[in-house]
Chain A
């Protein structure tokens, strides 16, 4: 079923919308949740909550790209669950490795402000990712939004795992440089 047909079902308050959403995007949403939480039960709960959040959001929303809309809800719910569970460092799936990688971007630096506005950082990341070359951007987003394992990214794009890791490393360095340049971080000498 096409996305616009499923969205139309939401607007008509037809519960078939949830059945179709689950059929089309259930596995994708589960993969996102599981990559973050590393626990099947928690991931399944987040996916179930995704349909409820979508039901409450549509209408008035009318997403053109339903899959992306649902993916963002699942990711957000999973992040909230992760905060609640405090499992960042305790075997929480691929997220452990992802956070260690991102920690490189802020290593050996001090914050300009003790508490950075999440909104400003979000806008910075949005602009940074958009300006990346196509291949680099796709790999970076698959790793740090979808939290895909490196092997999966390599398979998706027909690359070696080493290619992917080198690309990620170079892009993280670019990210760090820009974080410092735009004043989010001060480089410690």
Chain B
């Protein structure tokens, strides 16, 4: 064995281990103003966390996402849901929700009614009903302390205001994923959960007067509205001269947050899209993103929109 052999052996490191070390620490941004900042929303999947088994507070329910830091702030913004559905020996509970005007995240718990540990490699069919068009993602996080429970997280950014809306999700076919397309269904369900989205909306509107920007390929945009909160951002406006059968609209539109300490945070996980009819000179478009770390709004200096810097003034 030589050093090169040892180095090559690292090729066998597990995927979830590699995934976990992708996180970038931004506590210099989030920890400065503890009172005003919201706790971090961890959007990286596959992280095993521990949670205090204490009932009652929202921060405990959000422990899979936030850990047990900044509990006062999480309790202030997030809201418990507590809606459950049981079938085939499994129960899914909508535990808590957090969000802003256009973005939300909901934490669910999947548990075995007999308290036995859940197997690895789970997958489930999931469908969101209502809420309107938008984009999002879902993922699993294990509960290190209680192997009979696993957290399922959904995050959505929609094209219209979300808070107060009726939310329905439909789960079915809980299965163990095999090789390729193979799966073994362990419980068919279904599990249907319905509840109203109630949480503290801390969104603020950034004054913008028909801001014109261009992306790297020369596509031109006009931004008419920007909403920002400690957990997400939403913009809407127009893309000029869209082409039927041409490149997808908003494909080269990018946004970064510039903090007052000089840190630049690109919003790589985002949704964007719009619509137009053939012959239209402009398409109605929107851009939406949940942040993967909390941001104290007073620490934000500007937005970098397709390379154009736009100062943020939230007085």
Contact = CB atoms under 8 A, between A and B. Distances in A.
B125 to A, nearest CB: 13
A78 to B, nearest CB: 11
A98 B4 CA distance: 9
Nearest to A61: B180
Interface size class of A (residues with CB under 8 A): 35 or more
Given A75-B11, A106-B3, A134-B20, A65 B46 contact: yes
A2 B5 contact: no
Contact of B8 (A100, A105, A118, A158): A118
Contacts of B46: 65
Interface stretch (B22-30, B96-104, B198-206, B299-307): B22-30
A102 interface: yes
Nearest to A156: B24
A105 B15 contact: no
A65 B27 contact: no
A162 interface: no
A60 B180 contact: yes
Nearest to A175: B6
B20 A138 contact: yes
B179 to A, nearest CB: 7
B24 A121 contact: no
B270 to A, nearest CB: 11
A67 B28 CA distance: 27
Interface residues of B, number: 35
Contacts of A125: 6, 9-10, 12-13
B144 to A, nearest CB: 11
A88 interface: yes
Secondary structure dominating the interface of A:
helix
A130 interface: yes
B216 interface: no
Interface string A104-127: 011000010000101001111110
Contact of B10 (A62, A105, A130, A145): A145
B6 A121 contact: yes
B217 interface: no
Contacts of B18: 65, 68, 71-72, 141, 145
B6 A105 contact: yes
Which 3 A/B pairs are nearest by Cβ-Cβ distance? A122-B12, A138-B21, A103-B3
Interface of A: 2, 59-62, 64-65, 67-69, 71-72, 75-76, 79, 83, 88, 95, 98-100, 102-103, 105-106, 111, 116, 118, 121-126, 129-130, 134, 137-138, 141-142, 144-146, 156-158, 184-185
11 contacts: A65-B15, A65-B19, A65-B46, A71-B18, A116-B5, A122-B9, A125-B13, A126-B13, A126-B14, A130-B14, A158-B27
